[in-house]
């Protein structure tokens, strides 16, 4: 793999920090939304939107664009932030998150520029991504399809039906990323339905598997580069992350899955910690 220059790594880490800032700002203003699983996915979205995806914000419907499906649709704050920062719509719109009349509702829909699939009902995104990847092959187009799934989400059986379908059709143009933050709605995934050995499960379903630290942008870039070399299999990146990453009182806490900062003090603490982290990047 070509070495990624240090300035690029730093830029991607700064973008992840900006995404986190927006997640706090948006959920705090809306007094609702899902910060935990948005914060865990910040580096993944930063790498996708500022390094990986072949997209054109001026032409969101470009037929040859790479597709992205945020299967864990509740992580919309981080997703909308990445889309706005990338230029699909003005960043000011993020201040209207979840407001009546805004196009930035709690879960992504096709009215949002840059969004390729309506999501929010968990378990469906990979099937949609499989359909898009098959369509690319049928149309002789070389775009790739990326899907981001939650680890709680993949307890849903439909995900595994889609996984079998993808390997059956040799969808080497499909890359799934699992945000393995170990927590789902209100508890730890392993206390609800165990997923491990997760890497082996995907292997046995016929996928290439890459297991990485999902907060290390270099590792994310590397895994995606390797995945793209596949000539006959879909690939999955198991991104080991921390739910609530970057805000101390949210880290590893099921409480902040679907709860914004609870008061002014929590809001200020979150912003202060993210500003401190930014200075260290």
Ligand X SMILES: Cc1ncc(C[n+]2csc(CCOP(=O)(O)OP(=O)(O)O)c2C)c(N)n1
Q: Can residue 77 be called a binding residue for ligand X (CB under 6 A)?
A: no
Residue whose CB is less far from ligand X, 122 or 270: 122
CB nearer to ligand X: pick between 120 and 206: 120
| Shortest separation between residue 142's beta carbon and ligand X, angstroms | 30
Whole-number minimum distance, CB 232 to ligand X, in Å?
Answer: 29
Binding of ligand X by 183 (CB under 6 A): yes
Number of residues located near ligand X, criterion CB under 6 A: 20
Tokens of 202: 């995907």
- The answer to whether the CB of 83 falls within 8 A of the CB of 89 is yes
Binding status of residue 65 toward ligand X by CB under 6 A: no
Burial class (CB in 10 A: 0-12, 13-18, 19+), 251: middle
Binding flag, residue 74, ligand X (CB under 6 A): yes
Query: Of 17-36, which residues contact ligand X (CB under 6 A)?
Result: 36
Answer for the pair 224, 175: CB distance below 8 angstroms, yes or no.
yes
CA gap 222, 218 in Å, rounded = 6
- Find the binder of ligand X among 108, 152, 214, 261 (CB under 6 A): 152
Which stretch in 11-19, 56-64, 127-135, 151-159 sits in contact with ligand X by CB under 6 A? 151-159
Distances from the Cα of 129 to the Cα of 117, 143, 214, 224, angstroms:
9, 12, 21, 16
Q: How far is the CB of 44 from ligand X (least distance, A)?
A: 11
Q: How far is the CB of 62 from ligand X (least distance, A)?
A: 29
Segment 257 to 276, residues that bind ligand X, using CB under 6 A: 257
**Contacts of residue 252, Cβ cutoff 8 Å, sequence gap at least 6:** 182, 183, 242, 243, 244
Asked if 104 and 30 touch (Cβ cutoff 8 Å), the reply is no
Residues numbered 117-136 forming contacts with ligand X, rule: CB under 6 A: 120-123
Looking at the Cβ atoms of 35 and 114, the one nearer to ligand X is 35
Across 177-208, b (16+ Cβ under 10 Å) vs e yields bbbbbbbbbeeebeeeeebeebbebbeebbbb
Binding site for ligand X (CB under 6 A): 36-37, 40, 72, 74, 120-123, 150-153, 179, 181, 183-185, 243, 257
């Amino acid at each position: 793999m070509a070495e990624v220059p240090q300035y690029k790594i730093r830029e991607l880490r700064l973008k992840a920090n900006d995404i986190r800032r927006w997640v706090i700002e948006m959920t705090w203003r809306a007094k609702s939304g899902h910060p935990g699983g948005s914060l865990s996915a910040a580096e993944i979205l930063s790498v996708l939107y500022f390094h990986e995806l072949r997209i054109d914000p001026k032409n969101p419907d470009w037929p040859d664009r790479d597709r992205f499906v945020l299967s864990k649709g509740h992580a919309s704050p981080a997703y909308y932030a990445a889309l706005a920062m990338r230029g699909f719509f003005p960043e000011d719109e993020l201040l209207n998150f979840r407001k009546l009349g805004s196009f930035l509702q709690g879960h992504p829909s096709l009215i949002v520029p840059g969004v390729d699939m309506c999501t929010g009902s968990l378990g469906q995104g990979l099937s949609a991504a499989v359909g898009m990847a098959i369509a690319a092959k049928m149309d002789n187009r070389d775009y790739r399809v990326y899907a981001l799934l939650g680890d709680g989400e993949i307890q849903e059986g439909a995900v595994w039906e889609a996984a079998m379908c993808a390997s059956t059709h040799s969808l080497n143009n499909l890359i799934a990323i699992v945000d393995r933050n170990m927590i789902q709605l209100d508890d730890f995934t392993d206390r609800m339905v165990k997923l491990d050995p997760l890497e082996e499960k995907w292997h046995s379903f016929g996928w290439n598997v890459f297991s990485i630290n999902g907060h290390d942008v270099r590792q994310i870039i590397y895994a995606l580069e390797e995945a793209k070399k596949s000539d006959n299999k879909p690939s999955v990146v198991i991104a080991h992350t921390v739910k609530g990453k970057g805000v101390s009182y949210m880290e590893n806490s099921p409480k902040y899955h679907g709860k914004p900062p609870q008061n002014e003090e929590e809001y200020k603490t979150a912003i202060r910690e993210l500003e401190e982290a930014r200075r260290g990047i």
